[in-house]
Amino acid sequence: MTHSISPSRPSDLVSPVEAYSFFRKLTETVTCSQGRLPFLKRSLPDLVRVLNVGGAALVSQRQGGWKVESWAGTPQWPEAQSSHSSHYSQRVEKSTPPAMPLDLIASAVDRGAAVMHHSWMVVPSIAPSTEASQPVDRPTCLVLYLANDSASRSELSRTGEIFLRHVALAGQCQRQRERVHQLTQVLRASAQWQRNQLLPTSDEDSLLNEIAETAIKLLSCQRVSIFLWDKRGKKLVGKPSVGIEDPLVISDDAGIVGEVLATGEPKIWNGGDDDESRVNRSVDQSLDFQTTSLVAVPLIGQRGETIGVFEAINHQENSFTESHVSLLNDLALHAAGAIEALRAQKRLTASRDRLVRDAANSSPLVGEHPDIVAIRQSGTRVAGTDLTVMILGSNGTGKEVVARHIHYESDRRGEPFVAVNCAALVESLLESELFGHEKGSFTDANSTRVGKFELASGGTLFLDEVGDMSPGGQAKLLRVLEQREVVRVGGSVPIPVDVRVIAATNQPLEQLIAEKRFREDLFFRLNVVSLVLPDLAKRGTDILLLAEHFMQHFCYEIGRQVPTLAESAKAAMLSHPWPGNVRELRNTIERVCYLTSGDVIQAADLELRSMDGQALGGESSELASINLNGIDSLAEATRQFQISHILSSIDRCSGNMTEAAERMELHRSNLYRKMKQLGMKTGEG
Ligand SMILES: Nc1ncnc2c1ncn2[C@@H]1O[C@H](COP(=O)(O)OP(=O)(O)OP(=O)(O)O)[C@@H](O)[C@H]1O
């Protein structure tokens, strides 16, 4: 016979002051105790005292029975009355536990209200309304063993309910603390994966191993598999696969992993009552392993698509719970991000390497002449160092080609190669061009500009025509080379630059030094290693090798069958002085490829001119002519004339800009400036 409790006589046992200090202490204990059990240990004795009961126990439902989580009371706690003692906690068993009034507990839970019978009162917990995603406490009851002078029934039940709410709160606080701890661990692990990905040795296998190790530790399980989905092959490829060398490959609809892939929902399987047929035992067989419990969650990519399944197997102490699902989901989120980031990084690296290879192949250093072979070898040797290199040689001999060769042979090949033509820059612009400028630092500085040194960061800066640099420019360049940092014009912050500098000139630098036109200290800074390119006319049959190379190049560009060179053409080329060096040869072959159509190139087709402008082996070529039809504006007609005149002068000097400038009675840098003004290509950069 049980009774629901209804408010009865007011108690004079619990004074308001006593009740107030009890509840205040209860609240304090919730916030400072490290979880539900410590809370119970500290608060149950207070409850026994304030309610003046013989004993109090907190029982919760577990695996079909009731387990005493904690109790407090006097030694007169009653004898055992139930056969369910196997569900009592260790602590109760050790101290000869009293039996619980199980029928009364069941009745209190059924009614959802406190019930009383003889010396017992049971107060059931009323589950707080929580979000669906929050784990809910198991049914819990407060069992009170009453004494003769215990508090009133209503006092007991009311205080019991408040006590149970605090127990639930202590549980929630504990779960939140555990969750924060879990998330901290996950974030730490994720940060570590990202750091490791930056290592040059990082690959997908080592990342997956690292993720698996983290998961094994955080989930306290025996094994972890990360299955990546081969959608086209309808397969799941699992790694790491302990005990076998090859990756584990299963059909994408097999077992619980297949269920997760199909539904996108996490799944738990804990053996026991769970359906045995859901487990793919063939995997166990292939790995000589016994799965007893598992949890699996989807790996979702950044665009929301499922890219695989993350599975943890055999919890080392208990079965897997919803809390493990949350943890594995968090890990899966970061794991999917790390896997995708690594794949994207590998794709980018591969395409960058392809581009670098293409760029390197597009400017090969062609030639078998001993001088060229020696330069190629020295270039390769010097590429392994950060030494400054000076390349000397006449115009068009291939100084930039050699500089590129060094760059692409070096570890800097994946970073920029930036070429600056120092002769094309007047002193006022040189500083801003090389070092950049801050917005507003001078009249035309409408925006901040990054200089060539910064642009070349990590790579190579090629300073062409360095002999033409103004004295002021030379002083500034020397300072940067010594300090390895630049300050933008108008700025004050030094910016460190990691740049390999290669300089080139066609000027006799020793003579310029003697004439005080080039700084000796800068010369020694730049001239750590020097390579001297011979004129093309001195390279013998390399002329033919280069001609073949350019014919291949241009014919491929225009989709033309590569013609052969007649003996007369070869002889003409071998005897031509090539004042414009390789550039002149290249221009000649380009013209031939575009303007002739036969299978064999004759000497006359080459239209090689002697130094006095007479055509060799053929008629003289027409100089660039201008068509002023339809142009009324005097300014435009003048512009067209200037363009035409500059082009024909450069053509007459076979591309030698210094000579062309001299012929036009201009300084070389003024010629470049004029060409820029006229919208002509200057070939710099
Ligand atoms: N050894 C070579 N193999 C292949 N191409 C070459 C070689 N040398 C020069 N060239 C080609 O000749 C042209 C001129 O070369 P490059 O610009 O390197 O000469 P440069 O000495 O730097 O000229 P400048 O003194 O005018 O700056 C380029 O088109 C280049 O590709």
d(CA 117, CA 107): 11
* Model pLDDT, residue 92: 39
d(CA 391, CA 400): 9
pLDDT digit string, tens, across residues 363-416: 899 999 999 999 999 999 999 999 999 999 999 999 999 999 999 999 999 999
Inter-residue contact 54 to 145 (CB < 8 Å): yes
Looking at the fold, whether 341 and 409 belong to one and the same domain comes out as no
Please indicate whether residue 542, judged by its CB atom, sits closer than 6 Å to ligand 1: no
Please indicate whether residue 398, judged by its CB atom, sits closer than 6 Å to ligand 1: yes
Give me the percent of the chain exceeding a pLDDT of 70: 87
* Model pLDDT, residue 132: 45
Give me the residue label for tokens 């989120």.
333
Out of 366, 401, 535, 590, mutate this one to test ligand 1's pocket (max ligand atoms within 8 Å of CB): namely 401
Does residue 182 lie in a domain region?
Answer: no
Q: How far apart are the CA of 619 and the centre of ligand 1, in A?
A: 28
Please indicate whether residue 365, judged by its CB atom, sits closer than 6 Å to ligand 1: yes
- Domain boundary residue among 598, 616, 634? 616
The number of folded domains in the chain is 5
Q: How far apart are the CA of 570 and the centre of ligand 1, in A?
A: 21
Please indicate whether residue 238, judged by its CB atom, sits closer than 6 Å to ligand 1: no
Is 629 a residue whose pLDDT tops 70?
no
Q: How far apart are the CA of 520 and the centre of ligand 1, in A?
A: 27
* Model pLDDT, residue 14: 64
d(CA 428, CA 438): 15
pLDDT digit string, tens, across residues 26-67: 888 887 777 888 999 999 999 998 898 888 999 888 777 888
- What mean pLDDT is predicted for residues 471-484? 89
d(CA 495, CA 246): 50
Is 625 a residue whose pLDDT tops 60?
no
Does residue 357 lie in a domain region?
Answer: no
Beta-carbon neighbour count of residue 411 at 10 Å? 11
* Model pLDDT, residue 288: 74
* Model pLDDT, residue 182: 85
Is 90 a residue whose pLDDT tops 50?
no
* Model pLDDT, residue 582: 95
**449: Cβ contacts below 8 Å, ≥ 6 apart:** 432, 436, 437, 488
pLDDT digit string, tens, across residues 565-621: 999 999 999 999 999 999 999 999 999 998 888 899 999 999 886 555 544 443 333
Looking at the fold, whether 212 and 309 belong to one and the same domain comes out as yes
Instruction: Report helix, strand and coil shares of the chain as percent, to nearest 5.
Output: 50, 15, 35
Q: What is the DSSP letter of 620?
A: P
Q: Among candidates 468, 480, 478, 476, which has minimal Cα distance to 424?
A: 468
pLDDT band at 13 (very low <50, low <70, confident <90, very high): low
Q: How far apart are the CA of 206 and the centre of ligand 1, in A?
A: 45
d(CA 598, CA 561): 10
For 470, counting Cβ atoms within 10 Å of its Cβ (0-12 exposed, 13-18 middle, 19+ buried), the class is middle
pLDDT band at 499 (very low <50, low <70, confident <90, very high): very high
Does residue 277 lie in a domain region?
Answer: yes
- What mean pLDDT is predicted for residues 653-680? 83
pLDDT band at 79 (very low <50, low <70, confident <90, very high): very low
pLDDT digit string, tens, across residues 243-253: 556 678 888 88
pLDDT band at 425 (very low <50, low <70, confident <90, very high): confident
Tell me the CB-side half-sphere exposure of residue 596, using CA atoms within 13 A.
24
Does residue 11 lie in a domain region?
Answer: yes
pLDDT band at 627 (very low <50, low <70, confident <90, very high): low
Out of 372, 400, 578, mutate this one to test ligand 1's pocket (max ligand atoms within 8 Å of CB): namely 400
Beta-carbon neighbour count of residue 220 at 10 Å? 14
Looking at the fold, whether 626 and 605 belong to one and the same domain comes out as no
- Looking at every residue in the chain, the average pLDDT score rounds to 84
Residue type for position 348: L
d(CA 383, CA 389): 10
Does residue 10 lie in a domain region?
Answer: yes
* Model pLDDT, residue 5: 43
Q: Among candidates 395, 397, 419, which has minimal Cα distance to 407?
A: 419
Looking at the fold, whether 608 and 628 belong to one and the same domain comes out as no
pLDDT digit string, tens, across residues 144-179: 988 888 888 888 999 999 999 999 889 888 888 888
Inter-residue contact 143 to 101 (CB < 8 Å): yes
Is 630 a residue whose pLDDT tops 60?
yes
Please indicate whether residue 396, judged by its CB atom, sits closer than 6 Å to ligand 1: yes
Please indicate whether residue 393, judged by its CB atom, sits closer than 6 Å to ligand 1: yes
Does residue 186 lie in a domain region?
Answer: no
Residue type for position 215: A
Listed ranges 123-132, 154-163, 622-631, 662-671; the one with the highest mean pLDDT: 154-163
Looking at the fold, whether 338 and 251 belong to one and the same domain comes out as yes
Please indicate whether residue 367, judged by its CB atom, sits closer than 6 Å to ligand 1: yes
pLDDT digit string, tens, across residues 204-221: 888 888 898 899 999 889
* Model pLDDT, residue 683: 62
CATH number of the domain at 380, please: 3.40.50.300
Which has the minimum average pLDDT: 234-238, 419-423, 633-637?
Answer: 633-637
Q: Which residues of 298-337 are buried (b: 16+ CB within 10 A; e: fewer)?
A: bbbbeeeebbbbbbbbbbeeebbeeebbbbbbbbbbbbbb
Q: How far apart are the CA of 633 and the centre of ligand 1, in A?
A: 38
Please indicate whether residue 239, judged by its CB atom, sits closer than 6 Å to ligand 1: no
Looking at the fold, whether 288 and 431 belong to one and the same domain comes out as no
Inter-residue contact 145 to 29 (CB < 8 Å): no
- What mean pLDDT is predicted for residues 466-491? 89
- What would the two tokens of residue 651 be? 């053509």
- Domain boundary residue among 509, 529, 549? 529
Does residue 356 lie in a domain region?
Answer: no
Q: How far apart are the CA of 582 and the centre of ligand 1, in A?
A: 6
- Domain boundary residue among 600, 616, 632? 616
Looking at the fold, whether 12 and 130 belong to one and the same domain comes out as yes
Is 453 a residue whose pLDDT tops 90?
yes
Q: Among candidates 61, 35, 234, which has minimal Cα distance to 138?
A: 61
CATH number of the domain at 136, please: 3.30.450.40
Looking at the fold, whether 274 and 404 belong to one and the same domain comes out as no
Looking at the fold, whether 541 and 669 belong to one and the same domain comes out as no
pLDDT band at 651 (very low <50, low <70, confident <90, very high): confident
Its domain, for residue 604, covers 537-616
Integer CA distances (angstroms), 428 to 285, 442, 454, 489, 673, in order = 78, 11, 19, 11, 13
Looking at the fold, whether 319 and 426 belong to one and the same domain comes out as no
Q: Among candidates 328, 288, 298, 300, which has minimal Cα distance to 312?
A: 328
* Model pLDDT, residue 295: 93
Q: How far apart are the CA of 508 and the centre of ligand 1, in A?
A: 19
CATH number of the domain at 670, please: 1.10.10.60
Is 94 a residue whose pLDDT tops 60?
no
- What mean pLDDT is predicted for residues 432-442? 84
Integer CA distances (angstroms), 309 to 175, 298, 493, 512, in order = 26, 4, 50, 71
Please indicate whether residue 655, judged by its CB atom, sits closer than 6 Å to ligand 1: no
Q: How far apart are the CA of 402 and the centre of ligand 1, in A?
A: 8
* Model pLDDT, residue 418: 96
Does residue 192 lie in a domain region?
Answer: no
d(CA 380, CA 374): 10
* Model pLDDT, residue 298: 95
Q: How far apart are the CA of 318 and the centre of ligand 1, in A?
A: 74
CATH number of the domain at 552, please: 1.10.8.60
Looking at the fold, whether 216 and 290 belong to one and the same domain comes out as yes
Q: How far apart are the CA of 151 and the centre of ligand 1, in A?
A: 104
pLDDT band at 80 (very low <50, low <70, confident <90, very high): very low
Name the CA radius of gyration of the chain, rounded. Answer: 43
Q: Among candidates 318, 277, 269, which has minimal Cα distance to 296?
A: 269
Inter-residue contact 167 to 140 (CB < 8 Å): yes
Residue type for position 578: W
d(CA 84, CA 98): 11
d(CA 403, CA 240): 46
Predicted TM-score of the model (pTM): 0.63
Looking at the fold, whether 25 and 165 belong to one and the same domain comes out as yes
Atom of ligand 1 nearest to the CA of 542: 1
Tell me the CB-side half-sphere exposure of residue 135, using CA atoms within 13 A.
17
Is 188 a residue whose pLDDT tops 80?
yes
Please indicate whether residue 87, judged by its CB atom, sits closer than 6 Å to ligand 1: no
